[in-house]
Structure 1
Amino acid sequence: MHAAVHYASPLDRETVGPHPCFARRHARAKRNVRRAASFAGTVPLLVRARRKRPDARKRRVNAGCYFFKEDWPKMPTTDYARNEAFTPLLSYMEQLHRTAGATASALIVLQKGSTIAQWKSGAHHHKSGARPIASDSLFNVYSVRKTYIGLALAIALAENDIDPDNPVSRFISDMTEDELGSLSVKDLALKRGPKHFGEKRLEKEGLIGKIVFALTGRTIARLLTETVLDPLGFAETSWAAVPHERLVCDYTSQDRYPSVRIESDEGHERNLYVSARDLARWGQLHIENGFADGRPIVSEKTFELINELKRTAPAGKPAFGWHSEDGLFQVTGYTGCHVTVLPSLHAVGVRMLNNWDLPGPFVREDYDNEIRAFNNILIHCLKQTSL
């Protein structure tokens, strides 16, 4: 095991170097990211050194810098669409790919609906025979799914002229008022109230699924598929109920083995798999307030409701799944999949990871800082394209 290394720059306060076969590329990426940080005003990617682990067998097996030579996966060559203005962001993603222990990563940036930068690297897991990352690879986006659930709720409310201040108990007949309390539909949209409800310990997303079905007669997945996804031609968005080769494995299981998550196809569970390009177009739909190519996909009334709750949401609280701050709105999933929507720049930035395990003990601020760094470099690169 290498000894931990401390660097003068906070951005470089990293642990051991990567496997020797990546050493030169790793050093070059760090230099590029340092340059990006100097002019983009970013915050540190890594702010704590990894604790020395007494037993190498207890390491997280997918964390790249701790693979033994014989374990190191044979990664396909990185593939990207060259755009010199985005070199700092591509370098940042290359470093994050290794540092976060990901085996598969992707990036796509849209501006005014057109792709201006694209990058992908790795394979669906770290074992021999893994499928190389491709444009149609589908990542489990975890909490990013809440923006899909949120849109389904907003559509159901708008179509039926329902005031979100109505109590949830009005729409759910198989749970008692004692189980639901005074919870309102707006509380669900703003993620307020208890985490679990009733004997089955349903989460808020499960309650939203019940409300959507009560109001529309359709599940979340069916409502979105029929009203949004199919009209837009989204062929790379799936609530995975059956495993298939396009699903990217992640490392969220307790034993840290690469796995995929299979659940129902109803739309409220943690099994939404999406490609980077479909997710970018999802963000674009929100920039355009429900329009695509000049035609309405989602009603104006629906987005009036969404935007009103975004404006009035308490600080730090999401509205229909989106967190708003400083002229942007964004959402992040458990493994590091992230969408940044920048209305003033008419741009969407999407990055995909299948693992997001920054060095050191878990500190929420480190992960928040990493997202800010990504956003800052993204914004800088977008502004460079307009010079």
Structure 2
Amino acid sequence: MIINKKINTQFNSVVSNVRKTSELVDCSGASVFIIHNDNIVTEEYWGKHSKAPNLREIQEDTQFHVASVRKSYIGFAVAYAVYEGYIDSIDDLIVKYLPANSMPIFNGTTIRHLLTHTHGLKSINGEIHREFTPGINWSYRGVGIDMLTQIVKNTTGKSVAEIVADNVFKPLNFTETGWYGEVNEKLVSVIRKPNDPNWTTSKSTDGNKMNMYVSSRELAKWGYFHLKKGNVDGKQIVSNEIIDIATTVQSPNSLDVELPQNGYLWFVKDLPARKSEIGELVSKGSFQILGYTGVTLLVIPQHNLVAVRAFNSFGSPNGFDYLADVREFGNTIMTCLISASH
């Protein structure tokens, strides 16, 4: 993937915004990377991989723990499975593809519900409980993600990691994106509270666990790949339909308009939903993914822009409103765009 670098000052206030956030959260380093009008216009790194002395500086090939940003790769794998006919319809009941889960609690739950966080299922001490009837509410729960990765494996015979590697990473020569069972010097140390129940590690590299690390530049290129609907350097790497279905609203019509809207796990800007993680100034049709580490990928097709911010924190300090903060990130980008057009 060839993207020219033309660094300018248009988005300096975005860098300032991310620097401010990096001072509010518990991290030792951060970065900002923006592609606008097919050029890299902002690329900044600061800090180190850890708070320990003499640690590696945050730099171009530094790979950040992306937490829930991994869901955009899972969403791609599901979209691939749908496009290739392994999954007949996202309105199919999940028990069609997970026969071992044929229990009354799963009645009425479809793949669409899993993709849009409207399934109403919750895991408590390893047991699955129902919070609400599928399709009538929205709740961000990991159990739906686990089911999606299993559905991908059951239907395609391949893991999420294999699908994205074969269809995207290898054709685009991505070498700074992946799921890691072992640490290496390019992976940041994740700064977190002791015994944080949300923190997990895994030896699995199948793409089904929360152990994904990506460099800021390759995360931005992943966003650019979506912005260009799979057409990179004049070549259609994957069908544009895969990208279209993943990044347009798939939430059930029964959902309250103030709740977040999702594509294939991506958050999508459609109606001005009050509970969305996307800033109110951000253009309609934009899509975003946010991780528990604060790592964020925002794609704004209307302005031909991709923006990434990354930190090596995990979780939020007391009093920190992470949703307000990530909305401000998007709004700051839009303010820069609007200012430049006047």
Instruction: Summarize deviations over 1:237-281 as a string: whole Å, max 9, x none.
Output: 01011111111111235358xx99444111021111000011111
Instruction: Summarize deviations over 1:56-108 as a string: whole Å, max 9, x none.
Output: xxxxxxxxxxxxxxxxxxxxxxxxx9622222222222222222232010100
- The equivalent residue for 2:12 is 87
- The equivalent residue for 1:276 is 216
Query: 351, 360, 368: which is aligned to 2:309?
Result: 351
Does the 8 A contact of 1:144 with 1:321 survive in 2?
Answer: no
Are residues 91 and 82 of structure 1, via their aligned partners in 2, closer, same or farther at CA, if it must alter by over 3 Å? Answer: farther
Amino acid at match of 2:178: S
Select between 298-307 and 120-129 the one with higher mean Cα deviation: 298-307
- The equivalent residue for 1:134 is 59
- The equivalent residue for 1:72 is none
Structure 2 distance, partners of 1:358, 1:200, is 27
Structure 2 distance, partners of 1:263, 1:331, is 24
Does the 8 A contact of 1:167 with 1:183 survive in 2?
Answer: yes
1:292 aligns with 2:247: no
What SS does structure 2 have at the residue aligned with 1:355? Answer: coil
Structure 2 distance, partners of 1:109, 1:305, is 24
Amino acid at match of 1:170: K
With the length of structure 2 as denominator, give the TM-score of the two structures: 0.80
Query: 163, 171, 185: which is aligned to 2:89?
Result: 163
With the length of structure 1 as denominator, give the TM-score of the two structures: 0.71
Matched ranges for 1:196-345 at <5 A: 196=123, 203-255=143-195, 261-310=201-250, 314=255, 315=257, 316-325=260-269, 326-327=283-284, 328-345=286-303
What SS does structure 2 have at the residue aligned with 1:298? Answer: coil
Does the 8 A contact of 1:188 with 1:208 survive in 2?
Answer: yes
- The equivalent residue for 1:195 is 122
Structure 1 distance, partners of 2:42, 2:248, is 32
Does the 8 A contact of 1:147 with 1:320 survive in 2?
Answer: yes
What SS does structure 2 have at the residue aligned with 1:214? Answer: helix
Structure 2 distance, partners of 1:110, 1:290, is 16
TM superposition shift of 1:312: 6.3
Structure 2 distance, partners of 1:117, 1:330, is 18
Instruction: Summarize deviations over 1:11-39 as a string: whole Å, max 9, x none.
Output: xxxxxxxxxxxxxxxxxxxxxxxxxxxxx
Amino acid at match of 2:306: V
Are residues 212 and 382 of structure 1, via their aligned partners in 2, closer, same or farther at CA, if it must alter by over 3 Å? Answer: same
Are residues 309 and 374 of structure 1, via their aligned partners in 2, closer, same or farther at CA, if it must alter by over 3 Å? Answer: closer
Amino acid at match of 2:301: P
Does the 8 A contact of 2:35 with 2:305 survive in 1?
Answer: yes
TM superposition shift of 1:109: 0.2
Aligned Cα RMSD in Å?
A: 2.7
How many percent identity over aligned positions?
A: 26
Structure 1 distance, partners of 2:336, 2:288, is 18
Any unmatched runs of 5+ in structure 1? 1-80
Matched ranges for 1:98-137 at <5 A: 98-137=23-62
Amino acid at match of 2:114: L
Does the 8 A contact of 1:191 with 1:319 survive in 2?
Answer: no
Query: 317, 329, 337: which is aligned to 1:374?
Result: 329
Any unmatched runs of 5+ in structure 2? 1-5, 129-141, 270-282
TM superposition shift of 1:322: 1.3
Are residues 353 and 308 of structure 1, via their aligned partners in 2, closer, same or farther at CA, if it must alter by over 3 Å? Answer: closer
Structure 1 distance, partners of 2:40, 2:99, is 46
Are residues 269 and 174 of structure 1, via their aligned partners in 2, closer, same or farther at CA, if it must alter by over 3 Å? Answer: same
- The equivalent residue for 1:16 is none
Does the 8 A contact of 2:79 with 2:246 survive in 1?
Answer: yes
